[in-house]
Amino acid sequence: MDGQQMTLSLVRVLQEWDPFGLGSENYEPEIADAVLAVSDIEDVQSLARRLKEIYEFSFDESLDFQACLAVAEKLIMIRTNTNCTL
């Protein structure tokens, strides 16, 4: 998987998440920030905290940390699998 494929996979996971039930098309800025965070953050816990911050800031609603953690694990797995194949 190359960088472009990885980005598309990350976006797909984030679009499927839909944490506030608004439809995937309503999270474009948050998805962009989250994809950037995946490249900057190494561990799952830190990424989950960052996802929580991104989405809560934008929507002024609280998110369950465990839900963020589950998404962060998927995102880190995609990034790790991409890096392993290079």
What region, left, alpha or beta, does residue 64 occupy, with left being phi > 0 and alpha being psi -120 to 50 degrees? beta
Distance CA(44)–CA(29), nearest Å, equals 21
Kindly report, residue by residue over 18-38, the tens digit of the pLDDT: 999 999 899 999 999 999 999
Per-residue confidence in pLDDT tens, the chain, 86 aa: 678 999 999 999 999 999 999 998 999 999 999 999 999 999 999 999 999 999 999 999 999 999 999 999 999 999 998 765 44
Q: Looking at residue 38, what DSSP letter applies?
A: H
